[in-house]
Amino acid sequence: MLLAQRPADKHLAGGWEFPGGKLEAGETRFEGLARELKEELGIELQEARPLICVRHAYPERKILLDVWLVTAYRGKPQGLDGQALRWCPRAELRDAQLLPADGPVIEAVLALE
C-alpha cells in the first residue's frame, strides 16, 4: 500500500496517510480521485473501486474520507507536493503509524481477499 507523509504546511503535518485529496465542484468521486493522484503523485488512474467512507472528528476539523482501492494506474508515483512516499506491506499497516482517521481504512484493507 502506498503511503504519503503530509507536507509541513498542511493540517497534521508529518503524519502518514493514504494519498488523496478534496473533490472540486462538479467532479464525480472517480474524477476527483484521478485528478488528485495526477496532481500529487503524477500517475494516471485507470481503474479503482470504492472501499470505505469514514467520518472522523479531529479537534480542529471534521473530515469525510471517501477511500478507493486503486487497481490499475500508469506511471511511477512521485511526491509532487514535496511529500515523502513509502510502500507498506498490507500486513504491516497496523504498525505504520497512520493518522487516527485511517484506523477503519486499515481494517477494511486488511479484510480484502
pLDDT (tens place) for every residue of the chain, 113 residues total: 999 998 888 887 788 999 988 999 999 999 999 999 999 999 999 999 999 999 999 988 898 999 999 999 999 999 998 899 999 999 999 999 999 999 999 999 999 97
Q: Where are the beta strands (DSSP E) in 25-61?
A: 44-57
Sign of CA dihedral 88, 5, 56, 25: negative
| Domain 2-110: top CATH class | alpha beta
- DSSP SS3 for 86: strand
- Count CB-CB contacts under 10 A for residue 16: 19
82-108: b (≥16 Cβ within 10 Å) or e: ebebeeeeeeebeeeebbebbeebbee
In this prediction the pTM is 0.89
Q: Is 23 exposed, middle or buried (0-12, 13-18, 19+ CB in 10 A)?
A: middle
Give the three-class secondary structure for 112: coil
- Residue 72 is predicted with a pLDDT of 98
